[in-house]
Amino acid sequence: MSGPERPWANPEELSLKRAGRLYGRGITLRCPHCGKARLLKSWFKLKHKCPECGLRSDRGEEDFFLGGILFNYVFCGLVFLVAVVLIVAFTWPAVPWDFLQWGGIAFIAILPFLFYPFSLTTWLASDILIKPVTDEEMEWHRASREGEFRRQRVR
């Protein structure tokens, strides 16, 4: 089964105001589309559909959250880089290299777990920003079942 097409955003839909609203909802783990409901089922899993508007958290794509994993990787890398630069800058020339080495390993091992749900919801916000949800798509989301995707992966 294939679902409705998802058109790209019009230029006026790419406003900072709209982006701020979508990302604000994503960062607070709410549905970026309606902003009314929390999307977390558990720390490592989103609800299948938004309980308020019915938007599927995967937008009906089997591999949707690969982008969320990419976001997680980028967030962790940036935060780690900024932390290392700040520690080196503020402690120079007596940089605690041993602390950076072992603390850095612990820090980079923990960060992806902390950022994981935020990565998924901000990825969903990004996707909605560049491909706004249409009425036709929402009808499909509300009618679709879990495990049913708009596009099936080629096996």
Taking the least distance from each CB to Zn ion, the nearer of 34 and 40 is 34
Taking the least distance from each CB to Zn ion, the nearer of 76 and 128 is 128
Shortest distance in whole angstroms from residue 155 CB to Zn ion: 31
| H helices, E strands: number in the chain | 4, 2
How far CA 49 is from CA of 1, 40, 74, 82, in Å, comes to 19, 10, 26, 35
Instruction: Judge whether 153 and 62 are in contact, CB under 8 Å.
Output: yes
Site for Zn ion in 48-67 (CB under 5 A): 50, 52-53, 55
Judged by CB under 5 A, which of 34, 69, 88, 108 binds Zn ion?
34
Site for Zn ion in 78-137 (CB under 5 A): none
C-alpha torsion sign, points 112, 24, 66, 56 = positive
Kindly determine how many residues on this chain lie close enough to bind Zn ion according to the rule CB under 5 A: 7
Taking the least distance from each CB to Zn ion, the nearer of 30 and 150 is 30
